[in-house]
Amino acid sequence: MKLAFFDTKPYDMPGFDRYAVQAGIEIKYYETRLNEDTVSLASGFDAVCVFVNDTVNANVVNKLSDLGVQVIALRCAGFNNVDIPRCSGKLRVFRVPAYSPHAVAEHAMALLLTINRRTHKAFIRTREFNFSLQGLAGFDLYGKTVGIIGTGKIGRVFADICRGFGMRILAYDKFPAQNAGLEYVDLPTLFRESDIISLHCPLTDETAHIIDSDSIAMMKKGVTIINTSRGALINTEDLITGIKEKKIGAACLDVYEEEGDLFYEDFSGHIVQDDKLVRLIAMPNVIVTSHQAFLTQEALDNIAATTVENLRKFEAGIPSPETEVVFHS
């Protein structure tokens, strides 16, 4: 099997090279992302491997099919960037549903601890020998209520971490996890009672902008919002307004609604044209990381192993119901 690998980063290659050799898969790495302008690079390949910011819309799907590509291998859990209905009957689509729920959940907690205890600011101060504590006061997580939206593997791991801090946990999910020991409530209740809200749900038509002006209006004054899932779960303009009006006390964002042209690249020597992102980063009670929650050695290894295994099973005609994305009309 020949695999065209798009949006390649140096940390992708060691794991994929190791597992691909074992499976007899030949990989061609491309730094460019897959989109309508680059899809012709897939000519002569059996499969393409894509990540969260590749664009696999209807036109790209049609072109891939015309080029003889048979498989789209997502090296991530989400598939909102792939036109799944258009793939039906043309291309098989596989994903990595659980590369490391601990990696993402731990990053969510790291963001919360950092913004709450101002450790990022303290680090900068002490490097300049400024040992003042002014403006560094946080609050105890113990006894606080955290609302978790989405209780798949990542959401449940995050709940376990929060339990360790002695926090009260409220949960919302369209499909509650059985025997998870979670207190499920409706969204209005979660919004009203939570001191901290963490998003761990997929991006769908139903969850797009689940955080907007209406939901923010229900929240406690000073609420902290964490998003390590998908940027479009939050209406960015409404988030900024909520922060400016001091309704939202802090925001921890590993993802951003319009991240596609920015994240994973170095723009330190450029004037960034995205005014919303610039405003967010300039706010003292906001932390933005560049979609790095997944980035642990264990997760990278699991991503490579699962993606290659998906391709191996496809080639051998072995069903993979737990990893294949199938369109249901």
Per-residue pLDDT tens digits for 56-87: 999 999 999 999 999 999 999 889 999 999 99
> What is d(CA 61, CA 107) in angstroms, rounded to the nearest whole number?
33
Q: Would you call 291 a catalytic residue per the annotation?
A: yes
User: 249 or 329: which carries more pLDDT confidence?
Assistant: 249
pTM equals 0.90
Q: Are 217 and 176 in contact (CB under 8 A)?
A: no
Whether 90 shows a pLDDT value over 70: the answer reads yes
C-alpha closest to that of 312 among 113, 16, 58:
16
Q: Are 81 and 52 in contact (CB under 8 A)?
A: yes
Domain check: are 75 and 218 in the same one?
Answer: no
> What is d(CA 249, CA 137) in angstroms, rounded to the nearest whole number?
13
Q: Which residue has the tokens 């044209």?
A: 273
pLDDT value, residue 14: 97
Average the pLDDT over 144-168 and give the result. Answer: 97
Confidence of residue 113 (pLDDT cuts 50, 70, 90): very high
Q: Would you call 230 a catalytic residue per the annotation?
A: yes
Domain check: are 275 and 143 in the same one?
Answer: yes
Burial 17-46 (b: 16+ CB within 10 A, else e): eebbeebebebebbeebbbeebbebbeebb
Domain check: are 64 and 197 in the same one?
Answer: no
Domain check: are 121 and 259 in the same one?
Answer: yes
Catalytic choice (33, 75, 95, 291) = 291
Domain check: are 146 and 75 in the same one?
Answer: no
User: Which residues, in sequence order, are bridge partners of residue 3?
Assistant: 27, 47
Burial of 321 (C-beta count, 10 Å sphere; 0-12/13-18/19+): exposed
Catalytic choice (118, 200, 257, 259) = 259
pLDDT value, residue 322: 93
> What is d(CA 249, CA 265) in angstroms, rounded to the nearest whole number?
29
DSSP secondary structure of 213-233: HHHHHHSPTTEEEEE-S-GGG
Domain check: are 73 and 196 in the same one?
Answer: no
pLDDT value, residue 329: 66
Confidence of residue 98 (pLDDT cuts 50, 70, 90): confident
Per-residue pLDDT tens digits for 237-259: 999 999 999 999 999 999 999 99
User: 261 or 18: which carries more pLDDT confidence?
Assistant: 18
- Least confident segment among 96-105, 162-171, 305-314: 96-105
Give the range of the structural domain holding residue 316, as residue numbers without chain letter.
Answer: 2-99+296-325
Mean pLDDT of the chain, nearest integer = 96
| CATH code of the domain containing 235 | 3.40.50.720
Catalytic choice (33, 230, 257, 312) = 230
Domain check: are 321 and 209 in the same one?
Answer: no
Whether 192 shows a pLDDT value over 70: the answer reads yes
What percent of the chain is predicted at pLDDT more than 70?
100
Domain check: are 163 and 242 in the same one?
Answer: yes
Domain check: are 179 and 84 in the same one?
Answer: no
Domain check: are 204 and 300 in the same one?
Answer: no
Q: Would you call 120 a catalytic residue per the annotation?
A: no
Domain check: are 133 and 241 in the same one?
Answer: yes
Domain check: are 140 and 70 in the same one?
Answer: no
Q: Is 149 helix (H, G, I), strand (E, B) or coil?
A: strand
Q: At what angle do helices 297-316 and 13-23 cross, to 10 degrees?
A: 30
User: Structural domain tally of the chain?
Assistant: 2
